[in-house]
Amino acid sequence: MDELDTKIINTLQLGFPVCASPYRQVAGQLGITEAKLLARLENLLANGTLTRFGPLFHAEQMGGALTLAAVSVPVAEFDKIAGIINAFPEVAHNYAREHTLNMWFVIATETPQQLTATLAAIARQTGLTVYNMPKKREYFVNLKLEA
């Protein structure tokens, strides 16, 4: 990653134009050629610096459902429980955190009914209490990580 990669990432985290030649427009802002921008993006995707280049959907407005959930896992069973939870395709990501509630994961489904069913299935298969913490209100933030 050099300075140009950093500039590209920081610029494209703010958004991407919807017009006939969007790469040319962004390249112009960055003072480089369209071909150079495309080559850099290809490389950043190939080496895994970028996970995706595309849309971020509003899950609830799309009719889907989303929640954050947590469980308290005995240390000896950590990998086993992680395996059970991660096997659900509805689980988007899963992190170990420093707390009694030490495993936190996000579930995303196409319908609210599927969300309820997934939470129940995780509780059943792990034998743990699943703390469901859906958002009640979202506060706007500038979603950007400086590269």
Partner 1 sequence: MIDDRDQKLLEAVQKGLPLCSRPYATLGQSIAMPEAEVISRLTRLKQQGLIKRLGVIVKHKRLGYRANAMVVWNIPDTDVKNLGQQISRFDFVTLCYQRPRHLPEWPYNLFCMIHGKDRNIVLEQLRFMTETCGLTHYERDILFSRRCFKQCGALYKTPASQVLAYG
- As measured in angstroms, the least distance from the Cβ of 29 to partner 1 is 13
106-145 residues in contact with partner 1 (CB under 8 A) are 106-110, 131-145
- As measured in angstroms, the least distance from the Cβ of 67 to partner 1 is 9
- The CA distance from 88 to 93, in Å, is 10
Residue 13 in the binding site for partner 1 (CB under 8 A): yes
64-103 residues in contact with partner 1 (CB under 8 A) are 64, 66, 68, 70, 82, 85-86, 89-101
Instruction: Write the single-letter amino acid at 131.
Output: Y
The radius of gyration computed from the CA coordinates of the chain, to the nearest angstrom, equals 20
- The CA distance from 108 to 59, in Å, is 8
Residue 2 in the binding site for partner 1 (CB under 8 A): no
Token pair belonging to 132: 């469901």
Residue 62 in the binding site for partner 1 (CB under 8 A): yes
Q: Which of 2, 55, 75, 76 binds partner 1 (CB under 8 A)?
A: 55
| ∠ Cα 68 71 75 (to 5°) | 140
Q: Which of 2, 54, 75, 76 binds partner 1 (CB under 8 A)?
A: 54
Token pair belonging to 24: 């040319």
